[in-house]
Structure 1
Amino acid sequence: MRERGDFCDSSVWKKGGFVWKPAARDPGRPHKSGMTSLLLLLMLALSCRCCPDKCMCSLGTVKCQNQDLDAIPHALPATTKSLFVTGNNIFQISKASFPTRLENLTDLYLSGNGMEHVDAGAFKNLPNLALLDLSNNRMKNFSDQAFHDDNKLKFLNLSSSFHSHSFTDTVLDFFLHAKLLQLTSLDLSNNNLIVLPDNIFKGLSSLGTLNLRNSSLITIQNGTLPLLHDLDLRDNDLKDLPPTMMAEFSLNPSLHIQLVGNPWRCNCFIDDLLVWLKNSTQVTDSHNLTCADPEAMKHQPLLQVQPSQLKCSSDMEGVLETSYVFLGLVLALIGVIFLLVIYLNRKGIKRWMYNIRDACRDHLEGYHYRYEINSDPRLANLSINSDV
């Protein structure tokens, strides 16, 4: 592996896989092609650049890994085919990141840089770029003008690059407008996607392999996915697949799907999925799919589930239990409010109760007086005489 000094040796130049050294001049023989050799040397010097600081260069490969760089090195050899700038602190890349045109660069690895922004024109000086690795970054913005309109990008890796769901949709909009007509493989695994926007991959006409593993997906909407050859949906949060999605999969018989690691809910709503799994060969890991709910069927293989086992009563009981809990909380809140109102008006309530007590006492005393008069014959006659 050649380091910095190897590419700058004035007596050794490497071009096209051959090593050329200036021929030793015979002092006894006139040098007829001295000017030609000098011109050739100048041309080679212009077409070749030295290996950048903190990098290692060898046969078209430049590695600048874990060097605490904050920008892409500029003094890159013109013969560079593969560039590794990984594990650094490159917050942003723009058109200034590649100021000179690198015709031979096909593979670019920029993973693990904490990158957040990819600006317009960032890769326009890389006309033959075919593989781009931006995994393990923190993408917040990806310009749809980052690539040239006739770019040749085929492989794009954005695994573990969306750590905030608030920026995910913004970054994914990039696929709607960027002209990635030759892109065949896209890796979006280990991201917080939850739900894919509608028609997000509509412009990726050549896409054949899509990796969505461990991306927190809760459903797949109809019309979201293009015609694929390989689809990885492992380790998401899928509990069922919509019938329209299974019908769309069935229209593409060459598609291979991986679904293991999802928490399938084995109730009465999953019968369509079971029928599809038993009659389709598209799911390559169908024998490893197991139920996660209800508890009685946990870890049971889906292909062994019988229709008689699929019930929804447990779901209804759960809904009723939730309703009862909610009703209890509401009643408790009303009771607390009622007691609070009584406490705040305790003096008025006490006064009102005393008034009622006095009124009842006067009323009862009147009844008692009438009873005494009616029970004594002398008082009764006196009462009659007095009435007359």
Structure 2
Amino acid sequence: MKGVWGVSSSPPAACAASQGPGPASPASEDTAWSRSPQDAARAEEAPLRQRHLLPRPAAAAAGWCWRRGPGQARRGAARRGRGLRSRSRGRAALLAVRSGRRRSWRGEVPGQGSAGKVGAGAAGKLLGPLRPSRPVPSRPVPLRPSPAPGGTAGGPLAPVAPGSAAREPAAMPPGSPAPARPRWGVALWLGLLGLQAALGWAGARARAGGCPPPCECSEAARTVQCAGRGLREVPRDLPPSTRSLSLTGNPLGSLPATAFPALPELRDLRLSSCELRAVEADALAPLPSLWQLDLRSNPLDFVSPRAFGNASSALRELSLAGALANLSAVAALLQGGALPSLAHLDLADNGLLSLPEGIFSALPSLQHLDLRNNSLVSLHNVSFQGLGQLESLNLSDNSLMRLRNATLSQLRSLPRLQRIGLSHNPWVCDCNIEDMVNWLKESNQVEGKGSLSCSYPDGLLDKPLVKIRSSDLNCSLPVDIQSQLQTSYVFLGIVLALIGAIFLLVLYLNRKGIKKWMHNIRDACRDHMEGYHYRYEINADPRLTNLSSNSDV
């Protein structure tokens, strides 16, 4: 084993005796203070470095001794005078000081009062990696006594880096390995590798899920955003677990039967502003769990009643705002019974003049019906019977002039109806609106009923309906004009029938005179026609023409 520095338990005198003569005597080959001629020359050339060295008596007084290992005697001839051990310890000390590790070569752990001996095996581990591969002229390590407790000098010797004598020496625990270098670069490199692996994993998951390149997929929310990507058809490689799909603003044109792949978990489909003109049969059949369908702002001409296939659809919300020129495009779908679970129907902004009879009869689960911003003039053909779940009805921004008694009776019969919108309609305040005024005063279903006002006549212009009294209407005609007109039509028919019967009776009584008169007219017509025939024959034959002219002469 190699020789190492250690704290000796023997007295200073014994330590000095074991080390032999001092620096003035010839250098001993077995002591740590032996210097090679190169070291002596370097010491003479650099006195600034040598002033940090302490004489051997001071080291002996500090209790330091040089111990030799058993194998040093056999290898001493090859290593004497080269200062390998001093050089290795000096390099280790410089590295320890530069790395900020304040360790002490005296073998004491900071915070402990007792000093421990550094074993030969620990020193070998510490100095082994720092030993150069070829001999280099040795360089003595500057040492200075460590401050003893209480601020007095006289502690064991400690290595001092050149030019840094004022710094506190670093302490090294007994038996500890070499000081560990900072690993911040390694940690940063590993972090970058981890980030790259995570991004690659996320990309692989996205590709494995089938997210089409022009779209953006969110695995956490299970949504696919393909809005405004210029798509001419629905992407085929959509993730099967998609719950929300947005295709808004793509010029799709139409939805054929094979438009969508199998998406069993899709619930929200947005197809607004897609220039759709037709939705063919079975186009939405691969979407059995569809709840919300947005078809706003599309010029729809045809929607097949079998667009959802042969089975009933689970659709709950259907938006057709601004998508219909007339309701016949979707009338077959609404009346065909394919939407038994539909709860929200939006037909706003379509310019509808009227509604087909029984258009809502096959929607038993309908809760919200939006008919605002159309051109509806009357609701006499509309039947609200069977809509027991209806909660809100919006008829604002239409052309309604009045609500007839039949319509008011149907609205009263709906048990769950809570909100009715009637604002921005040109109400005509005549005698026919009296029943509606009374209904408004009694009902709490109409939203903003205080803002409903008259648009005609001029005497009641902008007057709220709820403030109109019967005397303000000045009804000079009977209230039920329709029944009066029906009575007049019946009387007119009876009079016309009586006149016809009298005419026929007169003809029957004068039948003989009429017959004689008819015969006379026939004979006169026959004589007149014979004269014309005779003249035609004479004019056609030249001989008869000359004879006729001579006879005339």
Query: Shorter-chain TM-score: what band?
Result: 0.5 to 0.7
Of 140, 145, 148, which residue of structure 1 is paired with 2:306? 145
Instruction: Mark the CA change 1:264 to 1:142 in structure 2 (over 3 Å): closer, same or farther.
Output: same
Which residue among 61, 65, 72 is the counterpart of 2:234?
A: 72
Residue type at the aligned position of 1:246: L
| Alignment CA distance shift 1:7-1:208 (3 Å) | farther
Over 3 Å counting, the alpha-carbon distance change for 1:203 and 1:7 in structure 2 is farther
Query: Compared with structure 1, are the counterparts of its residues 75 and 293 closer, same or farther at alpha carbon in structure 2 (3 Å cutoff)?
Result: same
Q: Where in structure 2 are the equivalents of 1:332-351 lying within 5 Å?
A: none
Separation in 1 of the partners of 2:472 and 2:210?
70
Give the match for residue 55 of structure 1. 215
* Cα shift at 1:223: 5.2
CA contact (8 A) 2:347 2:371 kept: yes
Structure 2 residue 190 is matched with structure 1 residue 190: no
Q: Which structure 2 residues correspond to residues 6-85 of structure 1 after superposition, within 5 A?
A: 48-59=208-219, 60-85=222-247
1:24-79 CA-to-partner distances (Å, cap 9, x unmatched) read xxxxxxxxxxxxxxxxxxxxx8xx43221321111311111112222111111112
Corresponding residue pairs, total: 274
Distance 1:12 1:138 in 2: 38
**1:374 maps to what in 2?**
none
State the partner residue of 1:260: 423
Unaligned runs of 5+ in 1: 1-5, 16-44, 315-388
Inter-partner Cα distance in structure 2 for 1:221 and 1:311:
26
Residue 413 (structure 2) aligned to one of 227, 235, 251? 251
User: Once structures 1 and 2 are overlaid, which stretch shifts more, 252-261 or 233-242?
Assistant: 252-261
Matched residue SS, 1:186: strand
- 1:270-292 CA distances to partner (integer Å, 9 max, x unpaired)? 10100110111121221111111
Displacement of 1:104 in angstroms is 1.3
Structure 2: any 5+ residue segments left out of the alignment? Answer: 1-196, 478-553
**Does the CA-based 8 Å contact 2:356-2:381 persist in structure 1?**
no
The question of whether the paired residues in 1 share the 8 Å contact of 2:298 and 2:322 is answered with yes
- Matched-pair contact (CA < 8 Å) for 2:396–2:422: yes
**Corresponding residue for residue 124 of structure 1:** 285
CA contact (8 A) 1:222 1:244 kept: no
- The amino acid that maps onto 2:354 is V
Distance in 2, Cα, partners of 1:312 & 1:64? 61
Q: What is the letter of the counterpart of residue 147 of structure 1?
A: F
Q: Following the alignment from structure 1 to structure 2, what is the Cα–Cα distance between the partners of residues 129 and 7?
A: 34
1:1-388 equivalence runs, <5 A: 48-59=208-219, 60-98=222-260, 100-148=261-309, 149-162=311-324, 164-165=325-326, 168-221=327-380, 224-225=383-384, 226-227=387-388, 228-255=390-417, 256-311=419-474
Name the amino acid aligned to 1:146. Answer: A
Q: How far apart in 1 are the matches of 2:280 and 2:198?
A: 31
Separation in structure 2 between the aligned mates of residue 231 and residue 270 of structure 1, nearest angstrom: 20
Name the structure 2 match of 1:369: none
Q: Deviations over 1:308-345 (max 9, x none)?
A: 1214689xxxxxxxxxxxxxxxxxxxxxxxxxxxxxxx
Which amino acid letter does the alignment assign opposite residue 420 of structure 2? I
Query: How far apart, CA to CA, are the structure 2 residues paired with 1:251 and 1:308?
Result: 29
**Greater displacement, 283-292 / 203-212:** 283-292
How many Å apart are 1:215 and its aligned residue?
A: 1.6
**1:114-153 residue CA offsets vs partner (Å, 9 max, x unmatched):** 1110000011101100000001111100000011313210
Contact 2:300 2:329 in 1 (8 A): no
Measured in 1, the distance between the counterparts of 2:204 and 2:364 equals 43
Distance 2:198 2:468 in 1: 66
CA distance, structure 2, for counterparts of residue 153 and residue 272 of structure 1: 38
For residues 210 and 270 of structure 1, the distance between their equivalents in structure 2, rounded to whole angstroms, comes to 24
CA distance, structure 2, for counterparts of residue 7 and residue 54 of structure 1: 22
Verify the 8 A CA contact 2:264 2:287 in the aligned structure 1: yes
Q: CA offsets, 1:199-236, max 9 Å, x none?
A: 11111111111000112111113552233111011111
Q: Secondary structure at the match of 1:287?
A: helix
Q: 1:180 to 1:254 in 2, by over 3 A?
A: same
Say if 1:159 and 1:187, in contact at 8 Å, map to a contact too. yes
For the residues of structure 2 that align with 1:156 and 1:271, how far apart are their CA atoms?
36
Q: Which is greater in Rg?
A: 2
Distance 2:268 2:401 in 1: 38
Q: How far does residue 84 in structure 1 lie from its aligned partner after superposition?
A: 0.4
Q: CA deviation at 1:12?
A: 6.3
| Distance in 1 of aligned mates of 2:378 and 2:441 | 21
- Is contact 1:194-1:215 (8 Å) kept? yes
Give the 3 Å change call, closer, same or farther, for CA 134–308 of structure 1 in structure 2: same
- TM-score calculated relative to the size of structure 2: 0.47
TM score, norm. by length of structure 1: 0.66
Cα distance, 1:312–1:90 mapped onto 2, change above 3 Å: farther
